[in-house]
Amino acid sequence: MHIFKTIQPLKKFLTKAVARNKTVGLVPTMGTLHEGHLALVNKSLEDNDISVCSIYVNPTQFNNPQDLEKYPRNLASDLAMLEKTQCQVVFCPSDEEMYPEGKENSLTINMGYLNTVLEGKYRPGHFSGVGVVLSKLFHIVNPDRVYFGQKDLQQVAVVQNLIHNLFFDLQLIRVPTVRNESGLALSSRNNRLSESDKITATALYRALMMIKEELQKKPAQVVAAQQKGLRFLENEGNIKVEYLEIIDTEKFGIVSDTRNHQEIAICIAAYVGEVRLIDNVLL
C-alpha cells in the first residue's frame, strides 16, 4: 500500500499508472473508518485497477468549530484497516498541503437550491466546503470513478451537481448504506455516542421505516406519515430532531404525494445527546 502525504508524488505515481492504461477509483473520506467506508473501498477495488482512499478532515465544510475539534481521528487504525482491504493508495494530506493559501482564504462554491434545504439549510457553508475539497481531490487524483455512501444522500446530489457543472470526466457511484444489526447507520460520529445513546440512536432508523411503511400503504398521506414518525421520536427521549422530510432525490424538493416522483427518500437529522446524526431510506 502506497501512502502519500503530499500532492506531487501522488500525481506522479498515478500518471505512470494511467500511462499503463490503469483505471483509478477514488474514495474520499474523513477517516475514522468503519465497515461503511470499507464497502466503498471494496466496490472501488472491484471496479478499478487502482483505488485511492483519501483521509482528510476538511476544515472548510464544518460550520461549527467545536464539531471540527471533536471530530474523531485515528490514522493508524485507518491505515491498518485499508491494508487489509488491499487498497493500493492512501492520500492523507495536511491542511497546509490542501489549502496553501490558508483555509480562511479558500474560495467558495454556491450549490444553488441544495444550499437552502436539509443539510444546506442547517449547516451554512457546509456544501461549499465539500465542493471545494472535492474539486481539489478530483484534480489531484483524476479518477475514473468516485464512490459515496447513500447515508450522505444530499452530498451525493451535491457531488453530481459539481461533476456536471464543472465538467469533471468521472462517474459517481452511490453505494447502499451499511448498518449494524440494530439498523443504526454506520458513521464516524457514532464513536462519540455513549453505549446508551447508541441504543437510543436506533430509533432514527425505526422511525424512517415506520414512515416508509405508512407511505407504501397510503402514498398521498405524506404529512400524516411524517407526523407519526415525529411522535414516535418524541417518546424516545434524548433525541432532538432537526428535520424529518420526505423529498424527491432528483431535485431535493419536499413532496406531497409520493406517486408523482421517480425516487423518494425519507431524510432525518437529529441530535442524540450532543451528537448530530443523519440517515435516510429510499421509498
Same domain, 133 and 30: yes
Mean pLDDT for the chain overall: 96
Round to whole Å and give the CA distance between 1 and 7: 17
**Model pLDDT, residue 159:** 97
DSSP 61-83: G-S-HHHHHHS---HHHHHHHHH
Task: Please tell me whether residue 256 adopts helix, strand or coil conformation.
Answer: coil
Minimum mean pLDDT among 12-21, 104-113, 125-134: which range?
Answer: 104-113
181-210 pLDDT, tens digit per residue, is 999 999 999 999 999 999 999 999 999 999
- Write down the catalytic residue from 2, 34, 37, 164: 37
This model's pTM is above 0.75: yes
Residue 233 lies in a domain: yes
171 with 32, same domain: the answer is yes
In a domain, 116, yes or no: yes
Q: Is the pLDDT of residue 260 over 90?
A: no
Q: What is the CA angle 43-49-55, rounded to 5?
A: 60
Q: Give the model's pLDDT for residue 182.
A: 95
Residue 134 sits in the same domain as residue 227: no
- pLDDT of the residue at 71: 93
Catalytic, 139? Answer no
The domain containing residue 203 runs over which residues? 188-282
| CATH code, domain carrying 11 | 3.40.50.620
Rounded distance between C-alpha atoms, residue 237 and residue 232, angstroms: 10
The cell for 25 is 477509483
Residue 69: the pLDDT is 93
Distance CA 118, CA 281 (A): 15
What are the respective helix, strand and coil percentages of the chain, to the nearest 5?
A: 50, 20, 30
Q: How far apart are CA 201 and CA 182, in angstroms?
A: 10
pLDDT at 250: 87
What's the pLDDT score for residue 237?
83
**Shared-domain flag, residues 78 and 204:** no
Phi-psi region of 25 (alpha: psi -120 to 50; beta: other; left: phi over 0): beta
Number of Cβ atoms within 10 Å of the Cβ of 216: 11
Domain finish residue from 120, 151, 175: 175
Element (H, E) at 267: strand 264-272
Mean pLDDT of 216-237: 95
pLDDT over threshold 90, residue 112: yes
CATH number at residue 217: 3.30.1300.10
